[in-house]
Amino acid sequence: MTEDDFENTEEEFSDDELTDLAFGMFTIFIEKHLEKGGSSLYREVESGHDIDAFCVDLQQQFVSEYPPLAEPLLRNGTAQNIAGLYRLGEGLVPSKTTKSYWIQQDKPGISSGATGADEAGKWLIFVGPEEVDASWRKIRDATVDGRLGIGAKVSTARENEDAHDDRKVIYVFTADWSDEPEVMRVRDELKKLGFADRIGYKRNLDTYAGEYREKGKRVTYYSV
C-alpha cells in the first residue's frame, strides 16, 4: 500500500483497525529490509538477537515514508515496545498473533503480490489450533528454503467471524495452477513434511469468483 492508497482508504478504518494496519505494514517493512541482508524477522527473534536497535532505525524510516501511519504506529508503543511484541510472537507465531488475520511468508526473491495473481493457486491444509504453530514453522521454513512454492500464509488467533470452526488453515501457493507437475511437486514436498492426508488445491480465480464449499459442489481443482 502506498501513501496515496492509504489516504484514499483512511476514512474506512476505525482507530483500532488503523493501529493494527500500521503494525502489519511496519512488520512487512522490516521483513523487506531484512530480506535484503539475507535474514528475516522470525530468524532474528528465534536466534535471540537484539532486535531493538533495528526496530528503532526502521521505525524512523517507516514514518518518514508513510507519514499518515506515524500516529497509528505509535499507538502500538515505542519501537522497543514493538520489538517486545515480536519477541512474544505477535505477527510471527499464529497462536500468538491477534493484530492480523494472517501471517504470510513469501519465497525470497518473489515479487510482491505474486501469490495474489489470477494464475496462482494454493494447497489448503487445515489443522487444529494445537497443531498450527508447529505446522506453520515447517511450511514457513521450507518456503524460505525454496522447497515449496512461491509463498505461504496461515490464519491466526485473531477472531474471525467468517471462520466455520476453530481449525486454522495454511495456504501453500504455486505460481501457476495449470503447471500440474510443479503443483504436484509441491504436494510431494508437503507429504515429506508430514502432511500426508488428502488435501485440496484451489485456484485463485475460483476464490475471486466467490466459489466456496457448498453441499455437493466441488471447488478444489486438485485433490490429492
Q: What is the mean pLDDT of residues 196-220?
A: 81
Point out the domain boundary residue: 68, 92, 116.
92
Which residue in the block uniquely carries the three cell numbers 511437486? 185
**Mean pLDDT calculated for residue range 5-18:** 68
- Same domain for 84 and 61: yes
Domain assignment of residue 193, yes or no:
yes
Residue 212 pLDDT greater than 80, yes or no: no
Say what the pLDDT of residue 111 is.
87
Number of independent structural domains in the chain: 2
Residue 31 lies in a domain: yes
**111 and 213 both lie in a single domain:** yes
Q: Do both 65 and 148 map to the same domain?
A: no
- Asked if residue 128 and residue 88 are part of one domain, the reply reads no
Q: Based on the domain organization, do 117 and 219 belong to the same domain?
A: yes
The answer on 81 and 13 residing in a single domain is yes
Mean per-residue pLDDT, 25-52: 94
> 111 and 69, same structural domain?
no
| 15, part of any domain | yes
Give tens-digit pLDDT for 127-168.
999 999 999 999 999 999 999 999 999 999 998 877 778 999
Average pLDDT, integer, range 117-122:
97
The mean pLDDT value for 182-186 works out to: 98
Q: Residue 208 belongs to a domain with what CATH number?
A: 3.30.760.10
Please give the angle made by the CA atoms of 99, 122 and 127, to the nearest 5 degrees: 60
Beta bridge partners of 102: 155
Say what the pLDDT of residue 215 is.
45
The string of pLDDT tens digits covering residues 71-111 is 999 999 999 999 999 999 999 999 999 999 999 999 998 98
Q: Do 109 and 75 share a structural domain?
A: no
Distance CA 86, CA 135 (A): 19
- In which domain, by residue range, is 200 found? 102-223
Distance of alpha carbon 40 from the chain centroid: 13
**Which pLDDT value is given to residue 12?**
77
Q: Does any domain span residue 124?
A: yes
User: Are 115 and 178 members of one domain?
Assistant: yes
The average pLDDT across 204-221 equals 74
Domain termination residue (choose one: 57, 92, 127): 92
Domain assignment present for residue 111? The answer is yes
Is 49 part of a structural domain of the chain? Answer: yes
212 shares its domain with 106 = yes
Cα four-point dihedral sign 67, 73, 77, 78: negative
- State how beta strands 200-203 and 121-127 pair: antiparallel
Kindly state whether residues 155 and 107 are assigned to the same domain: yes
* 97 occurs within a structural domain: no
Q: CA-to-CA distance for 218 and 201, rounded, in angstroms? A: 11
Please check whether residues 167 and 116 belong to one and the same domain: yes
Domain boundary among 47, 67, 92: 92
